[in-house]
Amino acid sequence: MPERIWLNVTMTLLSDAIFGAGYSIPGGEDIAVCKNEQGLPYLKGSTLKGLLRESVENLVEWTGLSASLPKELFGAEDWEGVTDERRILFSSLQLLHAPKDPQECYQNRVFTALEQGTVKNGTLRMAACIRAGLVFGGRVCCAKEDEELVRQAFAGIKWLGTLRSRGFGRVDFRLESTESTQSQKSALHAKCLRYRLRTILPVMVPNLSKSHGNSSETRGYLPGSVVRGMVLSQLAQQQPEWFEQNRRVLLSDEMRFLNAEPTGAPGVLPAIMSFYDDKTDNGEVGNKVVSVLNNDVMGSKRASLGSNCSLNGDTVYYWSSRTSSAMRLNQRAADSKDGKALFQVRYLEQGQNFEGYIVLPEPSFAEAISEVLQGRVWIGADRYQGFGECEVEELEAVDQPDWVQQYGYRQQNEIGTTLYLLLMSPTAMRDDWGENRGLDLEQLKEQLGLENLEILACSTSIAVFGGYNRMWKCRTEWERMYDRGCIFKLDCKGESPKLEALQRIQAQGLGIRRGEGYGQVLFLRPELFEAIRKRAPLERTNDTEQQSQQQLVRRAKYQWIMDQSQTLYKNGFSKSQGGMLQALCEKAKRQHGDCTELNAHLEKNLTARGPAFRKRYMHVDALVRSVLNAPLSETLSLAAVPDSMEERLQLLIMLFDHSRKAVQE
């Protein structure tokens, strides 16, 4: 395996720059810059990769180097790229020595286009520029043999970002080499390992069943298949003889990589689907829940429990992993003008912990696994474009997963004739003919050692799961499965299964693709499940959670603006009239929420200017008054929204500004 080194990258802005985010800010900039959760500018790893690749391609053209070099260092497009030790890994470039106020990093600039020496109509645009003099830092990892080439390629990058032709984006790069971290031996010896990963960079785990067109969704957890691919790939490269010797077992269902779930409370479970909101006498939805497995929930709505939960007494506590989205640009598609250059990706944010388990066929395998599952690792999609870097914070030997110990049957528990089967991961079983049966009661009955078995009730959801085989360069077969969190109430017909049978099924899993983390199940103790009467969000008060809430509020505002702008200019209401309302809202905001002039203007057009004006203003008047008179949480359908009259007026200002530009364009 080639020796690899880390290069610390420092980038200094020699002029103002614009790292385009791919979208505009309603009521603000027409060209927005990339900002992290703290509102500070940063350069995406994918952008850095594209710049460096272009520089390497220029070096190949000018110096006569091998034409295959860019592909070897950066991979091929689409699905053709394969994991290779020579490929370069990138982090994003984050701001060093950040100011206390993020706004100190920016200044607004205004641009127009000229036509025959005069300003072209409709071309006035505003952009937020990153101030010259700021310094950004990050890292790249490359093979030691490519260090000099990488240094030359970085030296060739002089400009980046948007509006380079107008003098923006002049930069200077400096590189400093550091030694790569060497693996350390571990003395682990166990049949089950628990690991904890912390995301250093954003991680992309595409949810192919929910992705479409130019949009890519992410899963809220790390599938076992993602960790499996990383570990087995590293074993094949670092310990090739041992890997070949144990290849059959490593690639079989005897070695199982369970999903890594976002940490929260002890005993992390996927969100259980059976809980529905229990409405009060006046029909309102509170924090009380009932289970569809044991109650009539006609007319009720399934309770929102995020992506994960835990059970404690009579309460189910719930939470979700933090996700964000970004706009990406496929430069080659943009050059070909095929209409698919701009696309949106959603990813797991950095700074989160995920905990998972690896079930081993032999305790001796633990030492080999521990040699590759330590330090910094890279997982998920686009890990060569500034995504996927994680740190292994913990790796320890355990007897079994925590959720088995906390919620499963123990030696002292009495096993009744009614079982609650919870799917910890997507699950599907096949019959003797190879047909997908979902949950095959005949096989399950046989494994439980029972004469009869029946499903009394269930709460389920079905999704499709696939993948991609990089060796064969093709997609794997799509499988319809019961999703994680599905739960079944089983009747054993007067016969109680043995504890050993339950534990064996929990240890081995059910159905297909168990080595990739599918088919993991838990027999939930009835007294824990049936005691649940209410739900509550898990309390998280750290800064990162507050930043995540701010992102939710921002997205809710943008979605509301997009929805309302579709119907704002109807019945003859014009953009100039919208501009007048925007000006009155801005004046009211400057006067600390005094809406006297705004209300008078609306009243005049409704009552004193005739039927035509009344018709134009009826919809707008109702919209403005509903925003001003209702809490923002009600307007945006989102809890915990900062609220004041100034905030409500700002929402209206953003709406009128965005809708007028949309109409103009």
Same domain, 23 and 86: yes
Residue 538 domain-assigned (yes or no): no
| Strand order across the 215-216 sheet | 215-216, 342-348, 323-329
Same domain, 578 and 519: no
Same domain, 366 and 468: no
Same domain, 96 and 120: yes
> How far is Cα 507 from Cα 509, in angstroms, rounded to an integer?
6
The CATH number of whichever domain residue 328 belongs to comes to 3.30.70
> How far is Cα 213 from Cα 342, in angstroms, rounded to an integer?
11
Which of the pair, 137 or 555, is modelled with greater confidence?
137
> How far is Cα 52 from Cα 73, in angstroms, rounded to an integer?
10
pLDDT of residue 84: 59
Tokens 């905990």 belong to residue: 355
Angle between helices 441-448 and 499-508 (to 10 degrees): 130
Residue 310 domain-assigned (yes or no): no
Residue 574, token pair as written in the block: 């014009």
Radius of gyration of the CA atoms of the chain, in A: 29
Encode burial over 582-600: b for 16+ CB neighbours within 10 A, e otherwise. bebbbebbeeeeebeebbe
Give how far Cα 284 sits from Cα of 495, 535, 638, Å. 42, 15, 16
Same domain, 418 and 356: no
Q: Is the pLDDT of residue 318 over 50?
A: yes
Identify which of 334, 330, 18, 24 has the alpha carbon closest to the alpha carbon of residue 161.
Answer: 18
> How far is Cα 491 from Cα 457, in angstroms, rounded to an integer?
9
Same domain, 230 and 346: yes
Q: Classify the C-alpha dihedral 141-142-144-146 as positive or negative.
A: negative
Instruction: State the average pLDDT over residues 90-94.
Output: 86
| pTM of the entire predicted model | 0.70
Task: State the first-to-last Cα distance of the chain, in angstroms, to the nearest integer.
Answer: 55
Same domain, 465 and 606: no
Residue 548, token pair as written in the block: 């995540």
Other CB atoms within 10 A of residue 220 CB: 20
Give how far Cα 361 sits from Cα of 133, 193, 509, Å. 56, 12, 14
- pLDDT class for 25, splitting at 50, 70, 90? low
Domain C-terminal end among 179, 209, 241: 179
Residue 94 domain-assigned (yes or no): yes
Same domain, 175 and 197: no
Other CB atoms within 10 A of residue 187 CB: 8
Residue 458, token pair as written in the block: 């269930």
- pLDDT class for 504, splitting at 50, 70, 90? very high
Q: Is the pLDDT of residue 170 over 50?
A: yes
Domain C-terminal end among 397, 424, 457: 397
Residue 305 domain-assigned (yes or no): no
Instruction: State the average pLDDT over residues 526-530.
Output: 93
What's the maximum distance between 2 C-alpha atoms anywhere in the chain?
91
- pLDDT class for 420, splitting at 50, 70, 90? very high
The CATH number of whichever domain residue 423 belongs to comes to 2.60.40.4350
Residues spanned by the domain of 454: 409-524
Same domain, 170 and 91: yes
Q: Write out 479-532 in H/E/C secondary structure.
A: EEEECCCCEEEEECCCCCCCHHHHHHHHHHCCCCCHHHCCCCEEEECHHHHCCC
Count of domains for the chain:
4
> How far is Cα 615 from Cα 286, in angstroms, rounded to an integer?
40
Identify which of 559, 582, 571 has the alpha carbon closest to the alpha carbon of residue 635.
Answer: 559
Residue 226 domain-assigned (yes or no): yes
> How far is Cα 355 from Cα 268, in angstroms, rounded to an integer?
9
Task: Name 478's Cβ contacts closer than 8 Å, sequence gap at least 6.
Answer: 464, 465, 466
Instruction: State the average pLDDT over residues 152-175.
Output: 89
Average pLDDT, the chain: 84
Same domain, 242 and 99: no
Residue 186 domain-assigned (yes or no): no
pLDDT of residue 459: 93
- pLDDT class for 81, splitting at 50, 70, 90? very low
Domain C-terminal end among 150, 179, 208: 179
Residue 363 domain-assigned (yes or no): yes
> How far is Cα 222 from Cα 390, in angstroms, rounded to an integer?
12
Range ranked top by mean pLDDT from 85-99, 206-220, 286-300, 410-424: 410-424
Other CB atoms within 10 A of residue 432 CB: 9
Task: Name 159's Cβ contacts closer than 8 Å, sequence gap at least 6.
Answer: 169, 170, 171
Task: Name 564's Cβ contacts closer than 8 Å, sequence gap at least 6.
Answer: 623, 655, 659
Helix, strand or coil for residue 550? helix
> How far is Cα 470 from Cα 464, in angstroms, rounded to an integer?
20
Residue 276 domain-assigned (yes or no): no
Same domain, 197 and 329: yes
> How far is Cα 395 from Cα 125, in angstroms, rounded to an integer?
52
Same domain, 153 and 244: no
Express each pLDDT in 245-282 by its tens digit.
999 999 998 999 999 999 887 889 999 999 998 865 55
- pLDDT class for 543, splitting at 50, 70, 90? very low
